Amino acid sequence: MDGVHSDLICGVATTVRDAEGLIATPGGIDVHVHFDSAQLCDHAIAAGITSLMGAL
């Protein structure tokens, strides 16, 4: 792949993904969630939230 240098490959478990034409962003973390809806996780994932921490 253009732009991938062999020095960037970290180890045997490293996977190189062809993301040409795509946008890669880190997932968000919501640290104050009230787990009162079964659909919460689906909505969170759709919004880019990849980690949830419950609040009392």
pLDDT higher than 70, residue 9: no
Structure tokens at 54: 């419950």
pLDDT tier at 1 (50, 70, 90 boundaries)?
low
Mean pLDDT, residues 16-23: 87
Task: Kindly report whether the global pTM for this prediction surpasses the value 0.75.
Answer: no
Does the pLDDT of residue 20 top 80, yes or no? yes
Q: CA of 56: how far to CAs of 30, 41, 53, in Å?
A: 14, 17, 10
CA 28 – CA 24 distance, rounded (Å): 13
Quote the pLDDT of residue 21: 93
Residues ≥6 apart with Cβ < 8 Å to 50: 27, 28, 29
- Comparing CA positions, the residue from 30, 36, 37 lying closest to residue 53 is 30
Helix (H, G, I), strand (E, B) or coil at 8: helix
pLDDT above 90 covers what percent of the chain?
A: 2
